Homo-oligomer: A and B are copies of this chain.
Amino acid sequence: MSKAVNVELELPSHKGEKSTGRIRKKNEELIINAAKEEFADKGYHGATIDSIARRAGLPRPNVHYYFDNKLQLYAEILSIIIDLWDDALNDLDPAEEPAVALREYIERKMAFSRRYPLDSRIFAKEILSGAPRLETYFQRGYRVWFERKTRVFHEWTEQGKMDAVDPAHLMFLIWSATQHYADFETQINAAMGVSELDDKAFARATETVVTVILKGIGVS
């Protein structure tokens, strides 16, 4: 509670960055990527600036030159992640056929888990901690935003295109199933006896999720 800083409050930034030099750009990127690994691995508290600096190949004070402090760097990263997700996962279109739209949506979420596992894990850890640094994000209209996301299920149900399944919980089911492949990768790999899922294995995972969920809500 004490230091519950919020991304939106602290950082409307990163879109209207003063686009100074290209050195700045290069180094900020270097630092952010290093920080993502570090935060995903160790969490906010466990990550150290020193370790981030080492990963980025820079001396520690140099990191402070670009980012005032750890919290700001972390908040910046959360902000980037949220924007990334918002941009890439546009709404389901009620006009489309559920079988097509939903399959595409799930495939996209799975592709995300595969391409951006670090981002997914950082976000997951934040929520697991009770999202103290995303307070406003989860208050400012999140309920409404979510309601809009799930309204499409309602419409499809009314049009008889799918079973009458609780829209909110269906959405949670989709999110959990797909994000699981990023967040619990360690456990999955151990269970499958591999060091990572190759393309074929991942496609098989995607197909399973799509098949079960589509059939589960009465969509062919």
Chain A residues within 8 Å of B, Cβ to Cβ: 40-46, 121, 124-125, 127-131, 138-139, 142-143, 146, 163, 165-166, 168-173, 175-177, 179-181, 183-184, 186-188, 190-193, 204-205, 208-209, 211-218
Tell me if A186 and B138 are in contact (CB < 8 A).
yes
Contacts of A183 in B (CB 8 A): 124, 127-128
Which residues does chain B contribute within 8 Å of A180, judged by CB atoms? 172-173, 175-176
Considering only CB atoms, which chain B residue lies closest to A149 in the complex?
B191
CB-based contact A124/B128 at 8 Å: yes
Contacts of A169 in B (CB 8 A): 204-205, 208-209
Q: B166, A204: Cβ atoms under 8 Å?
A: yes
User: Which of B142, B165, B212 contacts A217 (CB under 8 A)?
Assistant: B212
When C-beta atoms are compared, the residue in chain B nearest to A190 turns out to be B138
Complex Cα–Cα for A107 and B205 (A): 24
